[in-house]
Structure 1
Amino acid sequence: MSAYIVGLLVPLVFTLLLKNSKAGKRRGLPVDVGGETGYAIRNCRFTSPVQTAWEGITTLAELFEQSSRLYSDKCLLGTRKLISREIEVSEDGRSFEKLHLGEYEWLTYGKAFEAVCNFASGLAQIGHKRGERAAIFADTREEWFIALQGCFRRNVTVVTIYASLGEEALCHSLNETEVTTVICGHKELKKLQDISGQLDTVKRIICMDDEIPSNASVEQSIGWSINSISDVEKIGRENPVDADLPLPADVAVIMYTSGSTGLPKGVMMTHSNVLATVSAVMTIVPGLGSKDVYLAYLPLAHILELAAEHVISAVGSAIGYGSPLTLTDTSNKIKKGTKGDATVLVPTVMTSVPAILDRVRDGVLKKVNAKGGLSKRLFDLAYARRLAAVNGSWFGAWGLERLLWDLLVFGKVRAILGGRIRFILSGGAPLSADTQRFINICLGAPIGQGYGLTETCAGGTFSEFDDTSVGRVGAPLPCSFIKLVDWPEGGYLTTDSPMPRGEIVISGPNVTVGYFNNEEKTKESYKVDERGMRWFYTGDIGQFHADGCLEIIDRKKDIVKLQHGEYVSLGKVEAVLSVSPYVDNIMMHADPFHSYCVALVVASQSTLEDWASKRGIAFTDFADLCEKEETIKEVQTSLAKEAKKARLEKLEVPAKIKLLSNPWTPETGLVTAALKIKREVIRKTFSEDLSKLYAH
């Protein structure tokens, strides 16, 4: 019993001390930098913005070369061996690909650097000239990383493109940047072949897979040279070329957005921009080193993953590659009896987006509820006890009791991600407070929430390792100044009480050059103040807490970021779907805590009643007809057809709808005199209906 009391009291004393130390101190510090509000917030532990964490290192190419020299014999890049692919057919006739994957096979830092140098030389030997741009169009894998670093050693600007990008956006990205070399996987090569006639400047393809179509037949049909990445490395190994290293101000990457708000914009990032974010994160996450193992599965075409892998490789950690569909033992593409990536790799660090963490949470709760009985009561008790402790209660589960619950309950949950996770970075979209707390308790590891944008190289804010609060995105990274600017139209002012509110604007060495070939949009979003400081205007609305931590509370425009990080332009989608004959008016709704959109649809009474009459559907009045399941299904089918015609992305199509029988008129206050919808008024008026759409 005495051991139990000691185990209980020690962490309580530690907690009291912590509250009076770093955890309770101001994390953000107001500094006078002029501008519209007269001050900005910076990280209180640094007197000036961090630009590099390593003396003499000013580019990403230099950073990787240093790591390769320091950690030459340590593992860097790991890929699971593919044993077999199988097709399984479900009872309803649908077929699914299942993978049988083996252990991880590793490249050391030294071998990876050798491959990078060979690729750089081979790139020059196959005809890629200085000043030409290369694009990487593929899923995340070790060849992606090698190709990126190889391009950096030749000072080749890399255009990054999501593997899931649609044809129109893909053509736009490649043509706008005048890409001559595309580095891609086998499936992406097929996409390129389909649109080859629309690509103006592409001359050569480097395929990451050795199994590529007959070079002669493809080259003859589309006029491109095609080599595998192993062929390029072999050519470079046999014909080495001296490195042509970049300068800090050279553009390292032109990163294209997902393009769901129209054609994608290419954000130009210099080596010094990305290095500033990487260096700043180094100061926040404690103890990263060569013993850590990082699970990489998010798109490297996204700045969050690209920056994270540079942090990991900078400190000598190992990067094991996986995918969202093979992440756990129960993932969709994992063959029954085969272990998922996390179980095999046993990572200590990972980056995640809220959708993945929500999936883990939902999976755990589903299993707990399915078991019921004693198992569920034990889980609920353990969770309640740990939650009390996390919330600062003296009577929560501390010390030996915490160890007991870890052994009996939470150890099984942690095994889902390998059992060794010690830190998770969540970014790309807001993480719900419930999920953040759930994952924190069940995995026993802190979740660092970050806020940033492609335009700021993912740098903006980052929660401290000891910050146990939820719903906030932390204090400014040491590379950034954060400032709020009044937005009177939305009712957000820096003079608001109890916390200043406004549009978030960011300055610092991580703020990028601008948008490629789009000076008008660059001038609109990047502004220089009277002191010469350059600020990026995010369009997001935030509020500062008293300790200098930021909370995201709204979006300035009707463009919403979903859980997966993709943007949805509500106005664009509304314009497309309003063409449906069943629609009199429509308002799309989306929020960052869900992966799908919903819609309020004012139904066309004459069209729907005519449809119901032909189908022999009985109804008492129009309101009754709008409530019927077959009516809702018919309207949804019509919306899906219009969405398909307009080639909308799946995430842009409303997953659920509410049919309304009463029209929106200026008299109701729901639309303007010009019949434009008043989005905020409608949202408040139908808040209960919207909540129900998300609840079921």
Structure 2
Amino acid sequence: MEDSEGSVLNAPVEDNLGAGDHLSVLKGYGALGIVGAVIVAVLVPLLLSTVFLGKKRKQRGVPAQVAGEEGYAMRNARFTELIESPHKEATTVAAMFEQSCKKYAQNQFLGTRKLIGREFVTASNGKKFEKLHLGDYEWQTYRQVFDRACNFASGLIKLGHNVDTRAAIFADTHAEWFIAFQGCFRQNITVVTIYSSLGEDALIHSLNETQVSTLICDSKQLKNLAAISSSLNSIKNVIYFEDVGSSAAKECESTSNWTIASFSEVEKLGQESPVHPTLPSKNGVAVVMYTSGSTGLPKGVMITHGNIVATTAAVMTLIPSLGSTDAYLAYLPLAHVFELAAESVMMAAGCQIGYGSALTLTDTSNKIKKGTKGDVSVLKPTLMTTVPAIIDRIRDAVYKKVEEKGGIAKNLFDIGFKRRLAAVEGSWFGAWGLEKLFWEVVVFKVVRSGLGGHIRFMICGGAPLSADSQRFINICMGAPIGQAYGLTETFAGATFSEWDDTTVGRVGPPLPCCYIKLVSWKEGGYLASDKPMPRGEIVVGGPSVTAGYFKNQQKTDEVYKVDENGMRWFYTGDIGRFHPDGCLEIIDRKKDIVKLQHGEYISLGKVEATLITSNYVDNIMVFADPFHNYCVAVVVPVRQALEKWAQEAEIKYNDFSELCGKAEAVSEVQQSLAKAAKAGKLDKFELPGKIYLASDPWTPESGLVTAALKIKREQIKSKFRSEIEKLYA
């Protein structure tokens, strides 16, 4: 999962019959027979295909009349009024949680895999890697989780937490994170969420700015917290999630003045001395969410209970047959709005949530001990969220295995993929009926087992999903994938592509909880009056739009506006266009546009999204200097793909870093970029004139990408400043 390989499925698949075979099939037919065969085999399907493709596309979004700045607005076609909650009584997260726990009291809710053992393996370079032996999922019911959240809430008060101050969660995703989160709301405590991968400066800034008095964290964070304790001016209590064999709590206690307790100790304290709940209001701030962002120190977005409930209610209407028979795999960071929104939806619908991690996801993941099953194999989820980078890696790994098998297996895969692709794209020439069943059983069942074999719906967000990756999920996993567009500032609620929409490159119609308006950006040439598709800056309005930035009124006033009817709007900075059926497509980003020396405008994000489809590219950042007439790029190559090419080309090198520096390797990757640019219809000036190959992958830990794997442009520019200067020299 952590490694990605180059795609081998580029060339069109040829028919197994040769020219002679075609001729022999026609022997024995007269002229009328041949004509008849042609009509039946070609013209009839063509006519049927024309009729099928000519059908009027389903209307998913319809124009709406809204107040505020002039623009072109849309709403979801299925709802005339905006949805604000799943039930009249569930207007806060606390109420929604309590309702679900009562309704599904005996159902399985949160699952965690049993840790059987761990060991450390030493690699050839001397580095040690942890390997985990994990067992089955152990489940807690909705009733048990509710009781634990109530106990934790009471324990917080008994520990000495001041209810007028905030609590922060600084930890990886697991069941206790969610229980702590819900527990805080039983006492109307605002939760500050912080990525576990944030650096020291960002962590200190976030905790001090919000004056957090209680910090909830993983035990592995305690040592780091102790080192910066003198810089944290408001922390009084630290609650840690236990980790077998860790002695960090004692070390932290001896070097700080904090009251330190384990999560289970706080639960026990609350169980022995219950405190009557103090529940929040709809407009109260539930979360101050610090996102890593792409520049500078993180900003805290104030998310109300009403924001969370509105997005949750809206998404619940769009996932077909969502309910207690579904199992959801949770492995993305809960401190990120995408995962928090997804788990809120699953909780409200009564689903099972099984916790895992990106490092234990599959049978071959980095931290899985050989012979141990990955999270997907054990849980067999029906629902998953993901980001494009992870789908790309799964896709490339599958294609690599297909290439390695070769022979009949590869031919079957290629033909089956081509036939199913035609069917998914609406062609009568594709595989339907019994033929579809044949390919499902013979080819794609094995591929599907890689994600447990039961996936029926996937949700993708965080970045644009390529057409190739979307089709991979449609065909190989046999499931629709809903592309979601949203931001922390809208609690992930903006648009969501519907399960029966097989088009690619779009993010669907507005969610039922909001309006989407396109406001003209004349400087960029995008106008709401453009025909046939209106274009402009995407502005989101409705109950999912958050309250603004914590202690940053100036920035809040820049991007949040309230119209004369009292509706709150958020100006995203993204550029979109509406298709005739009311679906949105993201086409640009205001701040990513640079004007080159000769006056051409280049959209860095658009170019990166196109070039990353190259088989050699794991990650890429394009840089454009306005004093030059071409752009350049820093490229992280796919190691396996480049090393395979080097072996075939008989290129000698000692390590991967040396290979990346070789002119032949740079030339090979640059040629692949040119092919991707041509396929993506980029202009010549949009293709990087020079590139630099970076041998180390970009991870959240390196500070070069966010937890959602978006590139952090300023940090990358800073790290590779000298290399970029040389490219322009």
Name the SS for the 1:184 alignment partner: strand
**Which residue number in structure 2 is paired with residue 252 of structure 1?**
286
Q: Does 1:327 align with 2:400?
A: no
* Alignment map for 1:260-339 (pairs within 5 Å): 260-339=294-373
Residue type of the alignment partner of 1:128: H
Q: List per-residue Cα deviations over 1:640-674 (Å, max 9, x = no partner).
A: 99x99xx953654379998788968xxxxxxxxxx
| Structure 1 residue 598, shift from structure 2 partner | 3.6
Residue type of the alignment partner of 1:73: Q
**Which residue number in structure 2 is paired with residue 513 of structure 1?**
547
Q: Unaligned 5+ residue runs, structure 1?
A: 1-10, 560-569, 572-586, 604-625, 665-696
**Which residue number in structure 2 is paired with residue 591 of structure 1?**
608
Residue type of the alignment partner of 2:362: T
Residue type of the alignment partner of 1:107: Q
Contact 2:387 2:460 in 1 (8 A): yes
Q: Check 1:56–1:176 CA distance in 2 against 1; reply closer, same or farther (3 A cut).
A: same
**Which residue number in structure 1 is paired with residue 133 of structure 2?**
100
In structure 2, how many angstroms separate the alpha carbons of the residues matched to 1:250 and 1:414? 43
In structure 2, how many angstroms separate the alpha carbons of the residues matched to 1:552 and 1:245? 39
Residue type of the alignment partner of 2:354: G
**Which residue number in structure 1 is paired with residue 42 of structure 2?**
none
In structure 2, how many angstroms separate the alpha carbons of the residues matched to 1:174 and 1:63? 28
Q: List per-residue Cα deviations over 1:624-644 (Å, max 9, x = no partner).
A: xx9857999xx9999999x99
Name the SS for the 1:181 alignment partner: strand
In structure 2, how many angstroms separate the alpha carbons of the residues matched to 1:14 and 1:60? 50
In structure 2, how many angstroms separate the alpha carbons of the residues matched to 1:144 and 1:15? 51
Quick one: which of 153, 159, 164 aligns to 2:186? 153
In structure 2, how many angstroms separate the alpha carbons of the residues matched to 1:361 and 1:38? 39
Q: Check 1:181–1:371 CA distance in 2 against 1; reply closer, same or farther (3 A cut).
A: same
Deviates more, 1:183-192 or 1:221-230: 183-192
Residue type of the alignment partner of 1:156: I
* Alignment map for 1:70-219 (pairs within 5 Å): 70-209=103-242, 211=244, 213=247, 218-219=252-253
Quick one: which of 535, 552, 568 aligns to 1:534? 568
In structure 2, how many angstroms separate the alpha carbons of the residues matched to 1:198 and 1:188? 16
Contact 2:68 2:562 in 1 (8 A): no
Q: Does 1:498 align with 2:521?
A: no
**Which residue number in structure 2 is paired with residue 452 of structure 1?**
486
| Structure 1 residue 136, shift from structure 2 partner | 0.3
In structure 2, how many angstroms separate the alpha carbons of the residues matched to 1:499 and 1:20? 19
In structure 2, how many angstroms separate the alpha carbons of the residues matched to 1:662 and 1:79? 49
Contact 2:72 2:519 in 1 (8 A): no
In structure 1, how many angstroms separate the alpha carbons of the residues matched to 2:188 and 2:205? 23
Q: Unaligned 5+ residue runs, structure 2?
A: 1-44, 596-602, 613-617, 628-660, 668-689, 706-710
In structure 1, how many angstroms separate the alpha carbons of the residues matched to 2:401 and 2:199? 37
| Structure 1 residue 67, shift from structure 2 partner | 0.8
| Structure 1 residue 494, shift from structure 2 partner | 1.3
Quick one: which of 36, 50, 58 aligns to 2:69? 36
Q: Check 1:592–1:162 CA distance in 2 against 1; reply closer, same or farther (3 A cut).
A: farther
Contact 2:392 2:469 in 1 (8 A): yes
In structure 2, how many angstroms separate the alpha carbons of the residues matched to 1:601 and 1:359? 28
Name the SS for the 2:572 alignment partner: strand
Residue type of the alignment partner of 1:417: L
Residue type of the alignment partner of 2:188: N
Quick one: which of 709, 712, 716 aligns to 1:653? 716
Contact 2:559 2:572 in 1 (8 A): yes
In structure 1, how many angstroms separate the alpha carbons of the residues matched to 2:619 and 2:692? 17
Contact 1:59 1:247 in 2 (8 A): yes
Q: List per-residue Cα deviations over 1:126-151 (Å, max 9, x = no partner).
A: 00111110000000000000000000
In structure 1, how many angstroms separate the alpha carbons of the residues matched to 2:582 and 2:347? 30
* Alignment map for 1:245-644 (pairs within 5 Å): 245-558=279-592, 591-592=608-609, 594=612, 596-598=619-621, 628=663
Name the SS for the 2:255 alignment partner: helix
Contact 1:169 1:259 in 2 (8 A): no
| Structure 1 residue 56, shift from structure 2 partner | 1.4
Quick one: which of 263, 267, 272 aligns to 1:229? 263
| Structure 1 residue 391, shift from structure 2 partner | 1.4
Q: Check 1:76–1:16 CA distance in 2 against 1; reply closer, same or farther (3 A cut).
A: farther
Contact 2:52 2:426 in 1 (8 A): no
**Which residue number in structure 1 is paired with residue 32 of structure 2?**
none
After superposition, the CA RMSD in angstroms is: 3.3
| Structure 1 residue 89, shift from structure 2 partner | 1.9
Q: List per-residue Cα deviations over 1:312-352 (Å, max 9, x = no partner).
A: 11111100000011101111111111100000000001111
Residue type of the alignment partner of 1:597: I
In structure 1, how many angstroms separate the alpha carbons of the residues matched to 2:273 and 2:448? 49
Q: Check 1:14–1:333 CA distance in 2 against 1; reply closer, same or farther (3 A cut).
A: farther
Q: Check 1:280–1:554 CA distance in 2 against 1; reply closer, same or farther (3 A cut).
A: same
In structure 2, how many angstroms separate the alpha carbons of the residues matched to 1:374 and 1:231? 59
**Which residue number in structure 2 is paired with residue 578 of structure 1?**
none
In structure 2, how many angstroms separate the alpha carbons of the residues matched to 1:146 and 1:220? 28
Normalising by the residue count of structure 1, what TM-score does the alignment of the two structures yield? 0.81
Identity of paired residues, percent?
59
Q: Check 1:328–1:663 CA distance in 2 against 1; reply closer, same or farther (3 A cut).
A: closer
Contact 2:193 2:287 in 1 (8 A): yes
Q: List per-residue Cα deviations over 1:403-458 (Å, max 9, x = no partner).
A: 11111100011001100000000011111111001111110000000100000000
Residue type of the alignment partner of 1:180: S
Q: List per-residue Cα deviations over 1:536-564 (Å, max 9, x = no partner).
A: 000001010000000001111039xxxxx
In structure 1, how many angstroms separate the alpha carbons of the residues matched to 2:140 and 2:195? 25
Contact 2:311 2:492 in 1 (8 A): yes
**Which residue number in structure 2 is paired with residue 60 of structure 1?**
93
In structure 1, how many angstroms separate the alpha carbons of the residues matched to 2:577 and 2:399? 33
Name the SS for the 2:394 alignment partner: helix
Q: Check 1:214–1:382 CA distance in 2 against 1; reply closer, same or farther (3 A cut).
A: closer
| Structure 1 residue 218, shift from structure 2 partner | 3.0
| Structure 1 residue 253, shift from structure 2 partner | 0.5
Deviates more, 1:452-461 or 1:652-661: 652-661
Normalising by the residue count of structure 2, what TM-score does the alignment of the two structures yield? 0.77
Contact 1:429 1:592 in 2 (8 A): no
Contact 1:215 1:225 in 2 (8 A): no
| Structure 1 residue 13, shift from structure 2 partner | 14
Contact 2:84 2:513 in 1 (8 A): yes
Residue type of the alignment partner of 2:557: K
| Structure 1 residue 192, shift from structure 2 partner | 1.1
Q: Check 1:208–1:14 CA distance in 2 against 1; reply closer, same or farther (3 A cut).
A: farther
Contact 2:666 2:693 in 1 (8 A): no
Contact 1:33 1:39 in 2 (8 A): no
